[in-house]
Every structure is written in C-alpha cells, then in structure tokens.
Amino acid sequence: MQNMIKKLAITGGTHGNELTGVYLINKFKKNPKLIQREGFETIIMHNNLKAMQKCTRYIDKDLNRTFKTEDLNDPNKADYEDLLAKVINAKLGPKGSEHPNVDFIVDLHSTTSNMGLSIVIDEGSKLTWQVAAYLKEMEPRVNIFRWKGDTKDVSFVNSIAKNGFAIEVGAIPQGVLRSDLFFDTEKLIHHILDFIEKLNNKKFQKNYTSIEIYDHIELLDFPRDENGDIVAMVHPSLQDKDYTKLKKGDPLFITLEGEDIIYDKDEEVYPLFINEAAYYEKGFAMCLTQKKVIKI
C-alpha cells in the first residue's frame, strides 16, 4: 500500500439523536491532543448541529442519504439537509475529486439494534479494507458489514472521501449516551489513528489479504396489510440476535395475535439492524446478509 494519508476526518452528529459520536467529538474538541498523530492532520466536526440541538435524527430528511453525486450537483435540492450536505461536501470533498480535502472519513453512528461494534463499508478501497482488518485484529469483537444500500449511488457521509467507513455501535436507544460503547468507540478511533500513523511512517508492513464480512443480501420489511400497517413484529427469539444465523424453519416474525411467521428460504442468512427504530420509516425490519471471507 502506497497510500499517504494527509488529512483524516472524524465526524459525528450526522444523526442528531445518536449521541456517541456527538459527545466523542465534544471530547476531542476539548482534548485535541487525544487525536493528534505524527505525519497527518485529524479534522473533527459535527455534521448536523440543528438536529443535534433538537435531539432528532434529522430536520427535513436523512443527512446520511443526501450525498449521492447527482443530489450534490442538483441546485434544485434545497431542503435543510440537502444544503447542509453541499456545505459538508465542499469542506471535506468534493466527492469524486482526484484531490479531495480529506483522504479518509470515519463517521460515527449508533443503532438501537444489538450490533455491538460494527464497521459499515460500502465501496471500500484497498486502504479502507486494510484499516477494517486491522481493527478486527486489534478488537476481535468488531464485525464488518458490507452495505449495498437503499440507494443506487452511495449516499453516506464517508462516500465523500476515497477511503473511509462508518462505525456503528449498539444497542443504544435514540437520544441516549451509553458509557461502555462510548469508550469502545473511542478505542476504535485510536486504533485507526495509530494504524494511519504507522502506515504513513512505513512502520506497518503487514498486508492483510482476506477478511470475514457480513455481505448485504436484501432489506426485509415487516409484514403489512393492504393499508401499509404493520401486522407482525420481530419474533422474540430473533430480537437482539444480530449476527446470529437464521435458517429455514426458524421463527422470523410474530403476528399481533401471537402466530409465528417462519423463515422459509433455503439460504442461511445473518440478520443485522434487527428492529432498528430509525428504519421503520424506511420500510424495513432488518437487513439479511451472508457470512463470507473475501480477498482484499
């Protein structure tokens, strides 16, 4: 790997009610030496201050779905988050540039699902996968999720840079600060910064060749009636079982009357983002994935 990272951005508050990232950025602003490393600059920023002030996910629309290239270039996109995305893109990007203002973005999130410590990668670069593999080695509890998304073009904050990913930790209720996952997330950030410092100074010679991931298959919605109302819930035997194998015949949902709905496909899958509160409005109850080892 010949990548030289000159600027790395750590962002939080993309969703204003996900407080882990909000308060880690607060901490780093008060103690900048914590994130200083030799050979590159670390930028820290809150992404959606207005949503943070209201402790809500967003004002007009999900900021983390507004970084599609066509939307960033569309002058008619003028909702609050649309305009905010353009400001962030100008500061950190611009997206698609050969020389963006930052080389790597780590965007901090939390989830109401029992995801533990998760790294969410979309179109990962070689360097992105190497950092993820290092994190997995340093902290075996980390799981790597390759997201294929609910939009055609990658629309996450971290897509502005050529390298980067989101850190997703849970289970944490919206608007709640949970200490164990706060410090776990901070530890992952320090591992990332240490890796980049070693890489830039040619003190890290290891080249990871493969990594175990959970690969996105589909977004699965709740069962609904003809009016679009939910008629079944996540089954209690599946609730909080993110990253656990689901096989044919296992309970998947349970109706409001208490009848089981069984998973009936032959393919064994691993559900993630199970019963995530923020995804009710997006129309899915969980993401189904395959567990595999890929070359990087």
For residues 198 and 228, state if they share a domain: no
Residue 72 placed within a domain: yes
For residues 222 and 96, state if they share a domain: no
Residue 290 placed within a domain: no
CATH of the domain at 33: 3.40.630.10
210 has a pLDDT exceeding 60: yes
| Average pLDDT score over residue span 202-228 | 94
The fraction of the chain above a pLDDT of 90, given in percent, is: 93
Name the band, by pLDDT with cuts 50, 70 and 90, for residue 3.
low
For residues 273 and 191, state if they share a domain: no
For residues 197 and 226, state if they share a domain: no
113 has a pLDDT exceeding 70: yes
Examine the fold and report which residue of 154, 178, 208 is the final residue of a domain before the chain moves on. Answer: 208
| Average pLDDT score over residue span 220-241 | 98
Examine the fold and report which residue of 177, 208, 239 is the final residue of a domain before the chain moves on. Answer: 208
For residues 244 and 119, state if they share a domain: no
Name the band, by pLDDT with cuts 50, 70 and 90, for residue 4.
confident
248 has a pLDDT exceeding 90: yes
For residues 110 and 200, state if they share a domain: yes
Examine the fold and report which residue of 208, 229, 251 is the final residue of a domain before the chain moves on. Answer: 208
Domain housing 142: 7-208
For residues 31 and 89, state if they share a domain: yes
CATH of the domain at 227: 2.20.25.160
| Count of structural domains, the chain | 2
Q: What is the pLDDT of residue 99?
A: 92
244 has a pLDDT exceeding 80: yes
Start-to-end CA span in the chain (Å): 12
For residues 64 and 194, state if they share a domain: yes
292 has a pLDDT exceeding 80: yes
pLDDT, tens digit, 9 for 90 and up, residues 147-204:
987 666 789 999 999 999 999 999 999 999 999 999 999 999 999 999 999 999 888 8
